[in-house]
Amino acid sequence: MTSNPHPLRIFIKAAVLFLLCNALFAAVQPLPTLGRWSLYGHLYPSRLRLPYGEDPQQAHNLTLTNLPAMLASHAISQPKAADEFRVVVLGDSAVWGWLLPPAQTLIGQLNQQAHLTSDGRRIVFYNLGYPLLSLTKDVLLLQEALAYEPDMFIWLITLQSCAPAQQMQPPLVQHNGAKLRPLIASHRLPLATDDPLWVEPSWWERTIVGQRRPLADLLRLQLVGASWAATGIDQAIPPSYTPRQTDLAADNSWQTWPEPTALTAADLSFDVLRVGIELAGDVPLLLVNEPMFVSTGANSDLRYNSFYPRWAYDAYRGQLAQTAVASGWLFVDLWDGIPPAEFTDSPVHLSAVGNELLAAQLGEIVENKK
């Protein structure tokens, strides 16, 4: 007759197994590998833009910092067709398409225009824009995109994304030091390896228990795929919004400069642009100074809009053009290329009509530059 195991022995064995599993998880750090397993593109259609949002009930979306999971859910992860010329578009929330459904974004409009290469390949555009203004965040996504056989990059930027103080602000940057630190060393990326904004999890925070939120996010991303597939909704678009400012404050400040200053290239994060172009290598990269709202209201003699005083933006444009020419970069300046009426809630967010106009300009440039 066998006796029942003593409860204390069961508890001790379970506790040891629990600790061993957590220790193994902390040592291996399998979250990037787990992120590559996705139901998108298989059970669900792939997303047309990167997941971003905090209201899954309304938007069928969520924000996470696991880059492999984000890319695995995206259309770019699907096999490249033999007749496809693949163009990856990088940028901020204006590219991502704030306040717009996917079809009305810049990339949605570009794909509706059916551009062809001279040898008959279809030019297919992929939206890897992501909210928050930071060139370093864009470089991180560019590096990830290289695994998906791009034939060209388009990188839309603005002055705010070139501000040194902006580079470490996105959580996507703060949580991906393992990917960015090698770039700091190999490409002289101008970021401090000891910046306090880097998220450095302790051993306990790297265990299963410590990583329960990121693990839950991976699961949530798969679960909301069913409602994304049923609705095509990936952003909760409000019925109304506060329009961008037309009447502006009598304020000449920008970032840490309270008054007009002779900004130089060294004051801006152009070295991050250089790193992105170096990473692209033989893949052509078109750098675009993106359109912005130009006010004619109160104090528009001091400021173009709520983001930029005229002195700072004019200096930026001049320095960017000089740097692009000196470096041999493919560059186009479209800063005032869209009518002011086609900007929505910020100086860089475009309406559907604005994106259609911008898509027509960019599509022509791509056909000529590819």
- Looking at the chain, how many residues does it have? 370
pLDDT of 95 above 70: yes
> Is residue 149 a contact partner of residue 86, using CB atoms and an 8 Å limit?
yes
Distance in angstroms (rounded) separating the CA atoms of residues 322 and 325: 5
Is the predicted pLDDT of residue 74 greater than 60, yes or no? Answer: yes
Cα distance between residue 259 and residue 5, in whole Å: 77
- Check residue 17 and give its pLDDT: 83
Distances (CA, A) of 350 to 10, 103, 292: 62, 13, 9
pLDDT tens sequence across 125-146: 999 999 999 999 999 999 999 9
Which residue in the block uniquely carries the two structure tokens 């020419």?
Answer: 325
Distance CA 332, CA 113 (A): 20
Q: What is the pTM of this model?
A: 0.94
Asked if 166 and 160 count as a contact pair (C-beta separation under 8 A), the reply is: yes
pLDDT on residue 25? 85
Q: Do residues 154 and 366 touch, judged by C-beta distance below 8 A?
A: yes
Residue 23 has pLDDT above 90, yes or no: no
> What domains can you pick out in the chain, each with its CATH number?
80-211+244-369 (3.40.50.1110)
Do 303 and 347 touch, CB atoms closer than 8 A?
no
Beta bridge partners of residue 286, listed in sequence order: 154, 330
- Percent above pLDDT 70 for the chain: 97
Q: Alpha carbon 180 to chain centroid distance?
A: 15
Between strands 152-157 and 330-333, the pairing is unpaired
Residue 283 has pLDDT above 80, yes or no: yes
Secondary-structure breakdown of the chain: helix, strand, coil percentages, each rounded to the nearest 5? 45, 10, 45
Tell me the mean pLDDT in the region 289-293: 98
pLDDT of residue 369: 67
pLDDT average, residue stretch 23-34: 87
- The mean predicted confidence, pLDDT, of the chain is 93
Can you name the residues that pair with 90 across neighbouring β-strands?
Answer: 155
Q: 7 or 27: whose pLDDT is higher?
A: 27
Q: Which of 12-16, 49-53, 223-227, 250-254 has the lowest mean pLDDT?
A: 12-16
**Which residues lie below 8 Å from residue 216, measured CB to CB, with a gap of 6+?**
none
pLDDT at 159 over 80: yes
Q: Compute the half-sphere exposure of residue 273: CA atoms within 13 Å on the CB side of its CA.
A: 31
Q: For residue range 318-344, what is the model confidence (pLDDT) as tens digits?
A: 999 999 999 999 999 999 999 999 999
Between residues 327 and 365, the one the model is more confident about:
327
**Residue 55 in this model has a pLDDT that exceeds 80:** no
The DSSP result for 111-129, as a single string, is HHT--B-TTS-EEEEEE--
pLDDT of residue 57: 63
**Token pair for residue 259?**
């008054």
